[in-house]
Amino acid sequence: MATNLNKNNEVSFVPPFLKKIFEYIKSTPVWKSIFRVGYPDTMPKRMAVMRSSFYMHIFPTKVGVHGMKIKYGWCMGGITFFLFLLLTVTGILLMFYYVPEEHRAYNDMKDLRYVVPFGVILRNMHRWGAHGMVFTVILHMIRVFYTGSYKPPRQFNWTVGVLLLLITLLLSFTGYLLPWDQLGFWAVTVGTNMASATPLLGYEGPFSKYLGIQIDNDIRFALIGGTRIGPNALVRAYVWHCVGLPLIATALMIFHFWRIRKDGFSGPM
Amino acid sequence: MAETKTDAMISTQPGYDRMASWPYFIWVVLLCMFFITILIWTVSMFFNAPLEEAAEWAKTPNPAKAPWYFIGLQELLVYFDPWIAGVIIPNQILIGLILIPYVDTAPEVQGCYNYSRRKFQFVFFSFGIFLWFFLIITGQLLRGPSWEIYWPIIDYPLGGHEWTYPNQILKASQAKLHNLSLPVGITISVIGFIVGMTLPAIMFKKYFKELGIIKYSLVMTHVLLTLGVVGKILLRLVFGIKYVIVTPWFNI
Model-level ipTM above the cut of 0.90: no
Residue A88 sits at the chain B interface (C-beta within 8 Å): no
Residue at B204: amino acid letter: F
- Dihedral angle sign, alpha carbons of residues B108, B109, B115, B118: positive
Query: Rounded distance, CA A235 to CA A219, Å?
Result: 17
Query: Rounded distance, CA B207 to CA B106, Å?
Result: 12
Q: A26: distance to nearest CA of chain B, Å?
A: 20
Residue B179 CB neighbours (<10 A): 14
Q: Is the pLDDT of residue B170 over 60?
A: no
Which residues of chain B does A53 touch, with a Cβ-Cβ cutoff of 8 Å? none
Which of these, A160, A179, A162, A150, lies nearest to A241 by C-alpha position?
Answer: A179
Q: Is the pLDDT of residue B247 over 90?
A: no
Query: Rounded distance, CA B185 to CA B183, Å?
Result: 6
CA angle at B245 for the pair B239 and B247, rounded to the nearest 5°? 140
Q: Residues A99-129: pLDDT tens digits?
A: 999 999 999 999 999 999 999 999 999 999 9
pTM: 0.89
Q: Do A158 and B53 touch (CB under 8 A)?
A: no
Phi, psi of B143 (to 5 degrees): -105, 130
The reported pLDDT for the residue numbered A231 is 94
So where are chain A's domains? 74-261
Cβ within 8 Å of B, A 200-239: 202, 204-207, 228-229
In sequence order, what DSSP letters do the residues of B13-34 get, joined into one string? STT--EEESTTHHHHHHHHHHH
Residue B175 CB neighbours (<10 A): 13
What are the angstrom distances between the C-alpha of B106 and each of A29, A148, B15, B209? 55, 9, 20, 13
Residue B49 CB neighbours (<10 A): 19
Q: Is the pLDDT of residue B161 over 70?
A: no
Query: Rounded distance, CA A142 to CA B172, Å?
Result: 34
Q: Is the pLDDT of residue B151 over 80?
A: no
Region of B167 please: left (phi>0), alpha (psi -120 to 50) or beta. Answer: left
The reported pLDDT for the residue numbered A131 is 96
A74-261 architecture in CATH?
Up-down Bundle (1.20)
The reported pLDDT for the residue numbered B230 is 94
